[in-house]
């Protein structure tokens, strides 16, 4: 492995995202061995031993009524969804628009929900496939329930693990935010996918999938329905995308079979990241077509997983160009062999 890294440790590369056109730096001059990324342990979120966990005992800590609950054969719950006690958006059906001179704003309406799994410590990497499939089913269930609300045009489902990734409670949980606007990041992907199709008469994501499937050097997991790979223009070390192989613009239209295979891909990828990096902080999120009533035939939904292996500094903040200190080809090879 050491010889392999030295041979590839040439000039720093600027790589461009095929869809958005964004640039990233693969800083080969600062290249680390894959095992070096497991050295820095994540910051542990402190817990108050005198107070019950918000999520282990939701009734005792004043959580609102469940929006969705899954139960075991023994009568205990395995997953539950309830509104966030401290929502970033307020539930209103009408969105008021406001103007102040040259400025424009609208009411911060929307929905903010939490997906909580039963075990206080076990994360996806430590679950079995059926447990992960239950999480995917809950994501889809709540998405479908909210997608036709008048104040909702986009739904983001995401998961923060660890303090460095924005986690404030150690108990594993995901979040859903349904909002009236489409984020600039998603809009950039939508525009890029449409522009690529107009130029090349094929989907940009399908093109990447075909290339990665054929050459395999960045592939981490592969099945008939899903592929997981480290993107060519990875923004962070050990970034992984999980993408359906068939052209599918809408996450919410997944079949039960696809959810099970997606769960297998998620569990295996997260287990590899957990072992390779020593339980790192990470974020993952689902990018899918908006639910604003328009058609997005050129988009391709996917999950992006970003381990928190570095911190943005002056260059990244001032340019928006992220720096990764390992080539995605080397990261993928290391994860494959875990």
Catalytic residues: 173
Determine phi and psi for 90, rounding to 5 degrees. -105, 145
Question: CA separation (Å) from 320 to 22, 150, 282, 312, 317?
Answer: 9, 33, 20, 9, 6
* Cβ(39)–Cβ(33) below 8 Å: no
State how far the Cα of 232 lies from the Cα of 175, in Å rounded to an integer: 28
Answer left, alpha or beta for residue 133, where phi above 0 means left and psi between -120 and 50 means alpha: alpha
């Amino acid at each position: 492995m050491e010889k392999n890294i030295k041979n590839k440790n040439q000039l720093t590369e600027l790589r461009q995202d095929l869809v958005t056109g964004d640039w990233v730096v693969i800083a080969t001059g600062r290249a680390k061995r894959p095992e070096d990324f497991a050295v820095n342990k994540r910051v542990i979120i402190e817990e108050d031993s005198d107070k019950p966990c918000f999520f282990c005992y939701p009734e005792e800590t004043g959580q609102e009524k469940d929006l969705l609950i899954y139960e075991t054969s023994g009568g205990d719950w395995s997953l539950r969804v309830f509104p966030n006690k401290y929502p970033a958006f307020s539930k209103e059906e009408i969105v008021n628009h406001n103007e102040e001179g040259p400025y424009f704003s609208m009411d911060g309406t929307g929905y903010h929900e939490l997906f909580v799994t039963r075990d206080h410590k076990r994360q996806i990497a430590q679950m079995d496939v059926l447990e992960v499939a239950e999480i995917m089913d809950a994501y889809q269930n709540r998405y479908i329930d909210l997608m036709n609300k008048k104040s909702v045009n986009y739904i983001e489902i995401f998961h923060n693990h660890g303090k460095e990734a924005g986690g404030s409670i150690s108990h594993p949980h995901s979040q859903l935010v349904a909002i009236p606007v489409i984020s600039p990041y998603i809009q950039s992907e939508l525009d890029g996918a449409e522009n690529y199709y107009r130029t090349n008469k094929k989907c940009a994501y399908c093109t990447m999938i075909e290339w990665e499937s054929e050459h395999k050097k960045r592939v981490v997991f592969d099945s008939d329905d899903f592929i997981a790979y480290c993107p060519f223009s990875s923004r962070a070390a050990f970034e992984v995308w999980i993408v359906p192989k068939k052209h599918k613009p809408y996450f919410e239209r997944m079949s039960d079979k696809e959810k099970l295979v997606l769960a297998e891909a998620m569990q295996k990828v997260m287990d590899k990241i957990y072992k390779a990096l020593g339980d790192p902080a990470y974020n993952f999120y689902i990018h899918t077509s908006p639910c604003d009533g328009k058609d997005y035939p050129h988009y391709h939904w996917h999950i992006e997983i970003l381990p928190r292996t570095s911190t943005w500094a002056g260059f990244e903040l001032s340019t928006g160009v992220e720096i990764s200190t390992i080539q995605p080809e080397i990261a993928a090879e290391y994860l494959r062999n875990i």
